[in-house]
Each structure stands twice: as C-alpha cells, then as structure tokens.
Amino acid sequence: MMTTRDSFPLIRAIADRVSVRQFKPTPIPEEHLRAMLSAAIQAPSAGNRQPWRFLVVRNPGLRQRLAQAAHGQSFVAAAPVAVVILADLPRTESRYGSRGTSLYALQDTAAAIQNLLLTAVSLGYGTCWVGAFAEDQAAAALDLPSALRPVAIIAVGVPAGVTRARERRPLEEVVEFRD
C-alpha cells in the first residue's frame, strides 16, 4: 500500500533528513549547490526583506578555521562544503527595529536553512546544522562586517555511512488542539 511518505517527495525528504557528521570528501557540483541555495531563498521572510546572505566555503583552510570556531567540531572541515548563513541585520532593522534584529532575522534565516537542508537531502547529500560556534572567531575568519551576523554553519557532503534517526517527542506531548 502507498503511504503518505512514499507519495510525497517533500514528506519523504523531511522524514529522511538526519544530522550527518561523517562525510566523504567527494566534491559537490556547483549545480547542486545552486539548487540548495535557490531553495533557501524561496523561504518566507518578514516583510519579504530577505535578510540572508550565504557564504559557500569550499576553501579547506577556511573550513579548518570554522571548525576551530565551532569548538573543534572537525566534521565542519571534513565536509567538502560549509555554508555559512549570515543575517543582514540592517535589512530588517530599517523596517522592524529591534523585533526585526532579535526575532525576524533569525526566523527568516532559519526558514532558509531548513529549505537548504531538505533540498540537500533530496539530492542525496547529508547536512549538519552547526549553531555552536564562537561568532567572533567565525566573523574574523570570514572577515565579516559587524552588520552581518553569522547564525549557522551548515556542513554539506556525501554521507559516509548510515546515520540513525533520533527520536522525537510524540505529538501527544507537544500538540494541543483547541476546538
């Protein structure tokens, strides 16, 4: 019997996505990177301000510095690509003030990141969303102006081995219907 999971590619990609932390060194064709980035910029954003920037870091020395900034998470350097997502704070601040910088810019970039992850999975790549890093060290490594806040580093590559899905809290625990 066809299940919902089989019939809808998006639902399958959502179910298949897991955080991958072991990668083959296989390079990623630019066409695939562009597909992931094109999906990322389709995300909704407050007032359609699109306050995102993406640094596609293929340079091994830079990836090494990002891994150091990420408290030694060495898979950031081992993956062939690390995409750094930046929030362009003045783009939202000019319209929304502090709510823009402290909330919308982070929601907007997070939505873009999730699109990127799901597209990567549909193309056969593994990803890991890395949020634990010293922002000042990442900013220094990438020579960022202060207006651009690095919000995440996404390691992307062909998975080496199989990663087991982690458990989720049941719907009953997190959902409440109010009719």
Ligand X SMILES: Cc1cc2nc3c(=O)[nH]c(=O)nc-3n(C[C@H](O)[C@H](O)[C@H](O)COP(=O)(O)O)c2cc1C
Give the shortest CB-178-to-ligand X separation in angstroms: 27
Instruction: Provide CB contacts within 8 A for 113, sequence distance 6+.
Output: 40, 85, 129, 152, 154
Smallest separation (angstroms) from ligand X to the CB of 31: 25
Binding-site string for ligand X from residue 63 to residue 102, where x marks contact by CB under 6 A and - marks none: ----------x-----------------------------
Residue 147: what residue type?
Answer: A
Three-class secondary structure of residue 42 per DSSP: coil
Looking only at residues 138 through 167 of this chain, which bind ligand X when binding is defined by CB under 6 A?
166
- Interface residue with ligand X among 128, 139, 141, 154 (CB under 6 A) is 128
Residue pair 125/26 in contact by the 8 Å Cβ criterion: no
Assess contact for 176 and 89: CB atoms under 8 A: no
Binding site for ligand X (CB under 6 A): 18-19, 21, 73, 128-132, 166
